[in-house]
């Protein structure tokens, strides 16, 4: 989100899901929507079948690639070179949107300067994608009247994640594909309320509504609203930094709500050491998950179907969740538990209902300023929704960017930090698959789904499999500089030779035992998409 | 816009749309089975035929575009007949059972399958609630019912297998929970009904009326209520303290009174009741023993008179000596078995046909024989006289001739075969008649006459039970009671009463089927029936104690496993059934319902079941798959007469090459039970499924889904179709559709846990303890090391409100910005 915020001033999907229907062209990269956002995936397929052009760029030959007009199978971690190559074609063929660039953007000169150095042939050399395909993709996207970019973790989970995103923003600014219906740069959010967790201050550098903690005026406002003397003036630690601090002994108490860092965070051994080192760990979840083992207190929470509240989806739409069944045993909604702790600490939280909390959110969060339960109706509201009369916002940056002008932040390609060598010759990417979700807390405890897809696996190209004498379904060991994981081989052509893919949902074959916690310097996202590993049959 | 005329009225409609959608938007009702809002039209089912007034042709309205000047009629006799023919054809190919045969066989149509299932799950309270929807006297009926349901049970089809012991579930459920069970009752409307007779029909009518908010006063001429249950059925079959327990519930109901010792003609008059009440229901029963039509019959006791006397004397009666009971019905068996308990002398039963034709239940005949009854068949009394203090019964031998109207072979006397037998007591239990009140019209049999297809006698007077039908069973009496109550309710609301009728597709009686004709998700295995523990015959005849014991809960749970669960899971949600009911199709014109299934169930995956036998080839599933989901996983195969829906080019949707992603949209689109969710079939249909629309808890698309719940459990996830939501065409994915199962997983955390510092083991704690413990430690660490020693993870799976609160807690109560979540992971 940092990349989007830098370029446009707001870090969210710029346009709405329904606008897919009106696209002339879409560029889908680092996102596997038919598995991870299946309803969007179907909608894209529908649009493609109805005539929209589809460009797919992904190191894995994902299902959507079969529907694509152009499929670009870049090497993992070479996205910037690919995008720069496309922009090089656009500029050298004069396909850029001059008027848009002139009126609505800044720093265009730097783009010209940088992308000049990436002629398609050079981009082809770095990415492994044929130059002709880069040209074709560039032309399709530039010539479309309404073109949109869709991406997900395949773009962000790199050391260069933020740079990858700003490159995509450059592409959209260059072609004038932003600020109108059926255009935009659209990160597809992987979880039901990841957007909401970000929107409402679940980040170390911002208060709710992305109001910066290092802004004194903001701090003063919240000090007044929340009736406290003062706040720290600098941002707190991000999740990976938090565990690094815990491992050093700097953090003594951890309060974990609805997360399972032992499975979801990079370098599992390191996370476990950090948890063991932390003096007091409170875990609040629906199951006794892998992280609970290291907790001092485990609190039973109600799941999404057992409480009232709101989720904010990928397109910034705030929607109600309703209580469908009673929570099991004594489990309680998280908000009640938090309030219980807060009251005991002497900081009063007396809310009758989630609606009352949302009213407070509306009071302190300008982009949620008009969000009240009585307004959510059947279809919710999309932020920014500034006051009670504001209708919500279907797409962002119409007429003006949140930051004023859209800014080009072009970047040079730089290789991934984790180098392959003779010992670890393969690049392993992690990710999700259709049948399971995140650390599996919900899907692996849903018997029908787990019966269908019970086993972890690693995708191996059939050429590599032949070389290593591995057959489909064989047990294999995947080893990185940090650990080794045993799993089943799934042999095929989804990954290119030299690449491997592992889903991270499985506790018995935890992909994150292998990954490293080197972070993107700005967004602090770990590089899950490039891990050097070895592979052998066992 | 174009101008079209529908049923003589001109309308302006949008161009480019189909006649069907134009007419539907205007509020015209055109039935259809293949039209589905979110996909294109195919004109496959031809239910939507309309008549084009220009050409005179019948056209499918879904595939005909509106055009200027079009003049159509949406309904007339010709269209109705054409649609009916379409349904007849579809139904003649549609093979399955809407309802389970047991439910159909039950005169009261109790939801047998559902209460057996509840019993299998050990939830007898729920079982009782389901039973009492239809059966107000389950403790009694659970003991005395002749079990019509069991006769039709498909378990009979398995070699050497007895039917499921269905009636014993009623008995168990009622015995366990009769005290605490309270049925939902509507608020009293102020209307009042008088009911004459406190037997099963009267009690039943009062019960249903009261449930629906209508007060009822029962007038009973005897000392206590219960009718035949108290004064007809002997103690050893139905102990009177059990009956008292059951009736206590009636006595305690507000808005329902039972007034005993109130005899018609003496204490009450119909004419007065008609004035004083909004309606009157006659439920007098059949209390007059039928005549033997023989000389000297006054010397014999009437069967029902004998039983009534016995009950009134608390089952302590003088020794009747050597006894002859004449008759072959249940009343005769009650007399025989009661007499056996009163005397050590011989007891004989004379019946004019053979054992095979006896109307009594087989178990009664068998137990009577075990207890020492001597049966004399093909013997008919001719005269009765008294000689030397003994009764002499003259009989004649019979032989069986041609079948009569009842289908039983008619007994014909053999000339010159007369013989005489003697006894101390002769009981004539050959039937009972109604003693109808004078002012009330009667039919040819002397029963109360009611209007055709109704329970109305005249004006505000209604009648139900044996006094209308002649002697029948308790379950038939309560079945009639419910209908009579409905009839009264309609009358009070000024509405026309018509019997509830619903088309019921069925494969036929088990005797006409083989196991191969039935479809099973898992092939049933042989399992012996759990039998009622029964007292030995030698012991039985010494007293009037109840002969059987209620089966244990474990026994019933095990017995429940024997149920095949024959009904269709879509029975309450089937567009084909709804239309067939609307067109009043009892059986398809073309060859009746199919008994034999042509295809196997396809279910080699954990998510979907495809039952080809129920498919009507409407093609909705294929179009949803191709046009909305775009998975191309299914299509028509074997085009032509053998056309069917199949996984595209593949064996099963679950096979490795299949492109099916189990989004479930085909199931949502299916108008019948041809496609269904497997977990839902395995869990089976619950009676009261509630719908709650909510937002999916998985990815960031934020799909709207319809959670169907029963008993605080999610049983399936349906689609929501609405413009403006992220999934307007009812889309979902496998996680949204099937990922609800974790919700009631037994491993869910249900109590706070605190780790014991010494042992490292987690101990359960109260919320109070756990929250204090957390707060104390937070406070201590904050005091010692400051806010920098804290970190927190909030969650992309928790609500906005919760994420807001936890960061507020960290920032305001603790004082740190170190809060993050896995947005980046």
A489-493, long-range: CB within 8 Å, 24+ apart, which pairs? Answer: A489/A457, A489/A458, A489/A460, A489/A465, A489/A537, A490/A457, A490/A458, A490/A459, A490/A460, A491/A460, A491/A461, A491/A462, A491/A465, A492/A459, A492/A460, A492/A461, A492/A462, A493/A61, A493/A461, A493/A462
Cis, bond preceding A530 (omega within 30 deg of 0): no
Q: How many Å apart are CA A337 and CA A335, to the nearest integer?
A: 5
Is the sign of the CA dihedral B531, B535, B538, B544 positive or negative?
A: negative
Phi-psi region of B664 (alpha: psi -120 to 50; beta: other; left: phi over 0): left
Task: Give the pLDDT mean for B197-207.
Answer: 97
pLDDT for B645 beyond 60: yes
Domain identity same for B303 and B348: yes
DSSP 8-state class, residue B563: -
Could you tell me whether strands B390-403 and B419-423 are parallel, antiparallel, or unpaired per DSSP bridges? antiparallel
Q: How many residues are there in chain B?
A: 825
Q: Is residue B275 part of a domain?
A: yes
Residue A145 CA, chain-centre distance (Å), reads 27
Task: Give the pLDDT mean for B101-113.
Answer: 95
Helices (H), A249-291: 261-264, 268-277
- According to the model, what pLDDT value does residue B326 have? 95
Give ranges for CATH 3.40.50.740 in chain A: 194-382
pLDDT for A530 beyond 90: no
pLDDT for B312 beyond 90: yes
**Whether A311 contacts A192, CB under 8 Å:** yes
Q: What is the CATH number of the domain that holds B132?
A: 1.10.1060.10
Q: Which two structure tokens, joined as six digits, stand for B13?
A: 């409609």
Task: Give the pLDDT mean for A454-462.
Answer: 93
CB-CB under 8 Å, B697 with A192: yes
How many other C-beta atoms can be found within 10 angstroms of the C-beta atom of residue B739?
25
Residue B639 CA, chain-centre distance (Å), reads 39
**Whether B65 contacts B18, CB under 8 Å:** yes
Question: Which residues pair with residue B395 across a beta bridge?
Answer: B381, B419
Q: How many Å apart are CA B825 and CA A431, to the nearest integer?
A: 9
Question: Which residues pair with residue B411 across a beta bridge?
Answer: B400
- According to the model, what pLDDT value does residue A1 have? 60
Could you tell me whether strands B192-196 and B58-60 are parallel, antiparallel, or unpaired per DSSP bridges? unpaired
CB-CB under 8 Å, B802 with A334: yes
Q: Is residue B506 part of a domain?
A: no
Q: Which pLDDT band, with edges at 50, 70 and 90, does B686 fall under? A: low
pLDDT for B599 beyond 80: no
Closest approach of B736 to chain A, Cα-based (Å): 10
- According to the model, what pLDDT value does residue A245 have? 93
Domain identity same for B54 and B128: no
Task: Give the pLDDT mean for A434-445.
Answer: 86
CB-CB under 8 Å, B605 with A345: no
Q: Is residue B472 part of a domain?
A: yes
Helix crossing, A354-364 with A216-225: angle to 10°? 150
pLDDT for A436 beyond 70: yes
Considering chain A, what percentage of its residues have pLDDT values greater than 70? 99
CB-CB under 8 Å, B804 with A200: yes
Residue B678: C-alpha distances to residues A448, B121, B384, B601 (Å): 9, 19, 68, 11
**What is the value of pTM for the model shown?**
0.89
Q: Which two structure tokens, joined as six digits, stand for B61?
A: 């309205």
Closest chain A residue by Cα to residue B752: A299
Q: How many Å apart are CA A49 and CA B627, to the nearest integer?
A: 9
pLDDT for A523 beyond 70: no
Residue ending a domain, choose from B75, B93, B123: B75
Domain A194-382 has CATH 3.40.50.360: no
Size of interface A-B (CB pairs under 8 A): 468
Q: Which pLDDT band, with edges at 50, 70 and 90, does B655 fall under? A: confident
Closest chain A residue by Cα to residue B608: A448
Q: Say which residue, B462 or A262, is predicted with more confidence.
A: B462
Q: What are phi and psi of A529, to 5 degrees?
A: -90, -5
pLDDT for A77 beyond 80: yes
Phi-psi region of A519 (alpha: psi -120 to 50; beta: other; left: phi over 0): beta
CB-CB under 8 Å, A259 with B817: no
Domain identity same for B322 and B277: no
pLDDT for B752 beyond 80: yes
Closest approach of B573 to chain A, Cα-based (Å): 21
Task: Give the pLDDT mean for B455-484.
Answer: 94
Supply the DSSP string of A286-304, one letter for each residue: SB--TTGGG-SEEEEB--G
pLDDT for A522 beyond 90: no
Residues in chain A with CB shorter than 8 Å from the CB of B807 are 200-202, 207-208
Phi-psi region of B363 (alpha: psi -120 to 50; beta: other; left: phi over 0): alpha
CATH, domain range A2-188: 3.40.228.10
Q: Which two structure tokens, joined as six digits, stand for A298?
A: 């485990």
Fold of domain A426-537:
Barwin-like endoglucanases (2.40.40)
Range of the structural domain that residue B643 is part of: 600-744
Q: Is residue B684 part of a domain?
A: yes
Best of B521, B808, B809 to mutate (most A CBs within 10 Å, chain A):
B808
Question: Which residues pair with residue A281 across a beta bridge?
Answer: A254
Q: Which pLDDT band, with edges at 50, 70 and 90, does B152 fall under? A: very high
Q: Is residue B571 part of a domain?
A: no
Q: What is the CATH number of the domain that holds B377?
A: 3.50.50.60
Tens-place pLDDT, residues A291-336: 899 999 999 999 999 999 999 999 999 999 999 999 999 999 999 9
Best of A1, A201, A260 to mutate (most B CBs within 10 Å, chain B):
A201
Map residue A363 onto helix, strand or coil. helix
- According to the model, what pLDDT value does residue B592 have? 75
DSSP 8-state class, residue B74: S
Domain identity same for B610 and B735: yes
CB-CB under 8 Å, B724 with A236: no
Which of B742, B755, B801 lies nearest to residue A442, judging by beta carbons? B742
pLDDT for B107 beyond 70: yes
Tens-place pLDDT, residues A223-243: 999 999 999 999 999 988 999
CB-CB under 8 Å, A257 with B781: no
Helices (H), B56-178: 77-93, 101-105, 112-120, 124-132, 138-144, 148-151, 166-177
B360-365, long-range: CB within 8 Å, 24+ apart, which pairs? Answer: B360/B328, B360/B329, B360/B330, B360/B332, B360/B333, B361/B146, B361/B330, B361/B333, B364/B330, B364/B333, B364/B334, B364/B337, B365/B333
Task: Give the pLDDT mean for B267-271.
Answer: 92
Nearest C-alpha neighbor of B226 from the set B246, B200, B206: B200
Tens-place pLDDT, residues B725-739: 999 999 999 999 999
Closest approach of A469 to chain B, Cα-based (Å): 22
Q: Output the average pLDDT for chain A.
A: 91
Closest approach of B630 to chain A, Cα-based (Å): 6
Supply the DSSP string of A57-123, one letter for each residue: E-SB--GGGGG-SEEE-PPTT-HHHHHHHHHHHHHHTT-S-HHHHHHHEE-HHHHHHHHTT--HHHH
Supply the DSSP string of B202-268, one letter for each residue: HHHHHHHHHHTT-EEEEE-SSSSS-THHHHTS-TTTS-HHHHHHHHHHHHH-TTEEEE-S--BTTTB
Domain identity same for B714 and B772: no
Residue ending a domain, choose from B531, B560, B589: B560
Burial class (CB in 10 A: 0-12, 13-18, 19+), A513: buried
Q: Which two structure tokens, joined as six digits, stand for B594?
A: 């199919």
- According to the model, what pLDDT value does residue B402 have? 86
pLDDT for A219 beyond 70: yes
Q: How many Å apart are CA B279 and CA B581, to the nearest integer?
A: 31
- Number of domains, chain B: 6
Q: Output the average pLDDT for chain B.
A: 92
CB-CB under 8 Å, B771 with A341: yes
Domain identity same for B301 and B276: no
Q: How many Å apart are CA A340 and CA A348, to the nearest integer?
A: 9
B396-400, long-range: CB within 8 Å, 24+ apart, which pairs? Answer: B398/B352, B398/B353, B400/B353, B400/B354
- According to the model, what pLDDT value does residue B825 have? 60
Q: Is residue B503 part of a domain?
A: no
CB-CB under 8 Å, A232 with B822: no
- According to the model, what pLDDT value does residue B381 have? 93
**Whether A183 contacts B786, CB under 8 Å:** no
CB-CB under 8 Å, A309 with B801: yes
Domain identity same for B412 and B370: yes
Residue A497 CA, chain-centre distance (Å), reads 26
Best of B39, B626, B691, B799 to mutate (most A CBs within 10 Å, chain A):
B799
Best of A1, A240, A258, A292 to mutate (most B CBs within 10 Å, chain B):
A258
Which of A340, A358, A446 lies nearest to residue B741, judging by beta carbons? A446
Range with lowest mean pLDDT among A331-335, B19-23, B638-642: B638-642
Q: Which pLDDT band, with edges at 50, 70 and 90, does B651 fall under? A: low
Helix crossing, B112-120 with B166-177: angle to 10°? 60
Q: How many Å apart are CA A335 and CA A360, to the nearest integer?
A: 14
Q: Is residue B591 part of a domain?
A: no
What ipTM was estimated for this complex? 0.94
Q: How many Å apart are CA A262 and CA A268, to the nearest integer?
A: 6
DSSP 8-state class, residue A348: -
Residue B731: C-alpha distances to residues A17, B291, B323, B609, B707 (Å): 13, 71, 76, 19, 14
Q: Which pLDDT band, with edges at 50, 70 and 90, does A162 fall under? A: confident
CB-CB under 8 Å, A446 with B738: yes
Q: Which two structure tokens, joined as six digits, stand for B365?
A: 């005949």
Q: Which two structure tokens, joined as six digits, stand for B197?
A: 């007779």
Name residues whose C-beta falls within 8 Å of residue B676's C-beta, 6 or more positions apart in sequence: B569, B570, B608, B609, B611, B667, B670
Closest chain A residue by Cα to residue B630: A42
Task: Give the pLDDT mean for A360-383.
Answer: 94
CB-CB under 8 Å, B818 with A237: yes
Give ranges for CATH 2.40.40.20 in chain A: 426-537
Tens-place pLDDT, residues B215-240: 999 999 999 999 999 999 999 999 99
Domain identity same for B120 and B175: yes
Helix crossing, A79-92 with A108-115: angle to 10°? 100
Q: How many Å apart are CA B504 and CA B94, to the nearest integer?
A: 11
Q: Is residue B126 part of a domain?
A: yes
Helix (H), strand (E) at residue B651: none
Map residue B779 onto helix, strand or coil. helix
pLDDT for B656 beyond 90: no
Q: Which two structure tokens, joined as six digits, stand for A92?
A: 């050298």
Domain identity same for B548 and B666: no
How many other C-beta atoms can be found within 10 angstroms of the C-beta atom of residue A239?
31
């Amino acid at each position: 989100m940092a990349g989007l915020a830098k370029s446009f001033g707001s870090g969210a999907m710029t346009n709405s899901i329904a606008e897919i229907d009106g696209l002339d062209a879409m560029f889908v990269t680092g996102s596997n929507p038919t598995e991870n956002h299946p309803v969007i995936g179907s909608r894209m397929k529908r649009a493609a079948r109805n005539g929209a052009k589809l460009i797919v760029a992904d190191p894995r030959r994902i299902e959507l690639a079969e529907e694509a007009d152009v499929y670009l199978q870049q090497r993992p971690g070479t996205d910037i070179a690919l995008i720069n190559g496309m922009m090089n074609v656009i500029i050298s063929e004069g396909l850029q949107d001059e008027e848009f660039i002139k009126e609505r953007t800044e720093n265009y000169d730097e783009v010209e300067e940088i992308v000049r150095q990436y002629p398609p042939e050079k981009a082809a050399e770095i990415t492994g994608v044929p130059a002709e395909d880069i040209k074709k993709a560039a032309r399709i996207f530039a010539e479309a009247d309404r073109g949109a970019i869709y991406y997900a973790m395949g773009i962000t989970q790199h050391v260069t994640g933020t740079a990858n995103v700003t490159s995509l923003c450059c592409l959209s600014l260059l072609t004038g594909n932003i600020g109108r219906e059926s255009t935009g740069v659209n990160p597809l959010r992987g979880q039901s309320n990841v957007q909401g967790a970000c929107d409402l201050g679940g980040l170390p550098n911002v208060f709710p509504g992305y109001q910066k903690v290092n802004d004194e005026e903001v701090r003063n406002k919240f000090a007044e609203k929340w009736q406290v003397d003062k706040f720290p003036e600098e941002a707190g630690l991000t999740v990976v930094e938090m565990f690094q601090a815990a491992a050093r002994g700097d953090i003594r108490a951890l309060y974990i709500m609805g997360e399972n860092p032992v499975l979801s965070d990079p370098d599992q051994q390191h996370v476990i050491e950090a948890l063991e080192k932390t003096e007091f760990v409170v875990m609040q979840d629906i199951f006794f998950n892998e992280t609970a083992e290291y907790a001092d207190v485990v609190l039973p929470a109600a799941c999404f179907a057992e409480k009232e509240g709101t989720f904010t989806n990928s397109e910034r739409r705030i929607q109600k969740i309703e209580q469908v069944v009673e929570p099991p045993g004594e489990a309680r909604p998280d908000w009640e538990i938090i309030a219980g702790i807060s009251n005991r600490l002497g900081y009063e939280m007396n809310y009758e209902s989630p609606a009352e909390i949302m009213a407070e959110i509306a009071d302190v969060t300008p982009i949620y300023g008009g969000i009240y339960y009585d307004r959510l109706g059947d279809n919710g509201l999309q932020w920014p929704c500034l006051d009670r009369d504001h209708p919500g916002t279907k797409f962002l940056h119409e007429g003006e960017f949140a930051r004023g002008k859209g800014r080009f932040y072009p970047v040079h390609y730089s290789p991934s930090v984790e180098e392959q060598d003779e010992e670890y010759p393969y690049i392993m990417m992690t990710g999700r698959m259709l049948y399971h979700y995140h650390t599996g807390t919900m899907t692996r405890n849903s018997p029908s789904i787990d019966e269908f897809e019970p086993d972890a696996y690693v995708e191996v190209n059939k050429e590599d499999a032949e070389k290593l004498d591995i057959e489909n379904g064989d047990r294999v060991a995947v080893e990185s500089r940090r650990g080794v994981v045993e799993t089943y081989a799934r042999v095929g052509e989804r990954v290119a030779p030299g690449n491997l893919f592992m889903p991270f949902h499985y506790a018995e074959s935890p992909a994150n035992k292998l990954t490293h916690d080197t972070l993107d310097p700005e967004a602090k996202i770990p590089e899950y998409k490039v891990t050097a590993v070895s592979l052998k049959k066992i | 816009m174009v101008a079209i005329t529908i049923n003589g009225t001109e309308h302006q409609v949008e161009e480019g749309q189909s006649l069907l959608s134009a007419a539907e938007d205007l509020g015209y009702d055109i039935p259809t089975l293949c039209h589905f809002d979110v996909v294109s039209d195919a004109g496959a089912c031809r239910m939507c035929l309309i008549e084009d007034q220009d050409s005179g042709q019948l056209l499918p309205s879904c595939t005909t575009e509106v055009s200027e000047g079009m003049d159509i009629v949406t309904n007339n006799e010709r269209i109705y007949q054409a649609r009916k023919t379409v349904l007849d054809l579809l139904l003649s190919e549609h093979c399955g059972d809407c309802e389970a045969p047991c439910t159909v066989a039950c005169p009261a149509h109790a939801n047998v399958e559902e209460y057996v299932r509840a019993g299998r799950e050990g939830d007898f309270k729920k079982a009782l609630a389901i039973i009492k929807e239809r059966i107000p006297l389950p403790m009694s009926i659970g003991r005395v019912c002749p079990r019509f349901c069991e006769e039709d049970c498909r378990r009979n089809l398995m070699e050497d297998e007895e039917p499921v012991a269905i009636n014993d579930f009623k008995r168990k459920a009622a015995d366990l929970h009769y005290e605490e069970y309270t049925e939902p009752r509507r608020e009293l409307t102020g209307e009042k009904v008088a009911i004459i007779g406190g037997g099963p029909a009267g009690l039943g009518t009062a019960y249903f009326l009261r449930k629906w908010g209508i007060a009822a006063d029962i007038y009973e001429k005897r000392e206590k209520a219960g009718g035949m249950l108290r004064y007809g059925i002997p103690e050893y079959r139905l102990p009177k303290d059990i009956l008292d327990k059951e009736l206590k519930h009636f006595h305690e109901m507000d808005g329902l009174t039972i007034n005993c010792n109130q005899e018609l003609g003496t204490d009450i008059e119909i004419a007065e009741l008609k004035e004083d009440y909004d309606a009157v229901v006659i439920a007098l029963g059949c209390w007059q023993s039928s005549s033997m039509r023989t000389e000297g019959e006054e010397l014999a006791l009437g069967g029902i008179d004998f039983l009534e006397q016995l009950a009134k004397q608390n089952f302590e009666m003088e020794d009747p000596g050597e006894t002859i009971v004449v008759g072959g019905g249940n009343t005769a068996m009650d007399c025989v078995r009661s007499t056996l308990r009163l005397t050590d002398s011989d007891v004989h039963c004379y019946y004019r046909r053979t054992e095979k034709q006896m109307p009594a239940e087989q178990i009664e005949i068998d137990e009577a024989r075990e207890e020492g009854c001597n049966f004399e068949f093909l013997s008919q009394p001719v005269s009765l006289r008294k000689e030397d203090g003994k009764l002499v019964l003259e009989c004649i031998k019979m032989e069986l001739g041609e079948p009569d109207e009842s289908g039983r072979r008619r007994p014909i006397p053999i000339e010159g075969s007369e013989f005489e037998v003697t006894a101390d007591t002769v009981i004539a239990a050959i039937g009972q008649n109604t003693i109808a009140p004078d002012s009330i019209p009667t039919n040819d049999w002397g029963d109360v006459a009611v209007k055709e297809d109704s329970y109305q006698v005249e004006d505000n007077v209604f009648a139900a039970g044996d006094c209308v039908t002649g002697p029948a069973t308790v379950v038939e009496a309560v079945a009639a009671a419910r209908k009579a109550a409905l009839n009264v309710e309609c009358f009070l609301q000024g509405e026309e009463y018509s019997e509830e009728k619903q088309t019921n597709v069925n494969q036929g009686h088990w005797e006409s089927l083989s196991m191969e004709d039935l479809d099973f998700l898992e092939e049933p295995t042989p399992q012996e029936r759990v039998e009622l523990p029964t007292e030995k015959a030698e012991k039985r005849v010494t007293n009037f104690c109840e002969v059987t014991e209620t089966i244990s809960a474990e026994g019933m749970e095990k017995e429940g496993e024997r149920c095949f669960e024959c009904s269709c899971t879509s029975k309450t949600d089937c567009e084909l059934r709804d239309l067939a009911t609307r067109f009043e199709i009892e059986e398809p014109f073309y060859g009746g319902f199919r008994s034999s299934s042509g295809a196997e169930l396809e279910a080699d995956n954990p998510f979907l079941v495809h039952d080809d036998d129920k498919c009507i080839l409407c093609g909705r599933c294929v179009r949803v798959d191709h046009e909305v989901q775009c998975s191309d996983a299914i299509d028509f195969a074997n085009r032509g007469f053998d056309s069917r829906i199949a996984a595209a080019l593949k064996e099963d949707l679950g096979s490795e090459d299949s492109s099916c992603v189990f989004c479930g949209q085909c199931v949502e689109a299916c108008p019948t039970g041809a496609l269904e969710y497997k977990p839902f079939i395995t869990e089976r249909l619950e009676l009261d499924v509630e719908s709650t629309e909510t937002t999916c808890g998985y990815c960031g698309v934020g799909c709207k889904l319809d959670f169907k719940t029963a008993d605080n459990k999610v049983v399936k996830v349906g689609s929501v179709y609405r413009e403006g939501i992220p999934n307007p065409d009812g889309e979902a994915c496998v996680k949204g559709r099937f990922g609800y199962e974790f919700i009631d997983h037994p491993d869910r955390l249900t109590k706070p846990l605190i780790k014991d510092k010494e042992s490292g083991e987690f101990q359960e704690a109260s919320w109070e303890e756990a929250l204090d413990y957390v707060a104390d430690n937070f406070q201590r660490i904050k005091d010692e090391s400051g806010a920098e020693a804290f970190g927190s993870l909030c969650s992309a799976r928790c609500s906005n409100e919760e994420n807001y609160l936890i960061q507020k807690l960290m920032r305001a109560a603790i004082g740190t910005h170190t809060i993050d979540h896995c947005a980046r992971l």
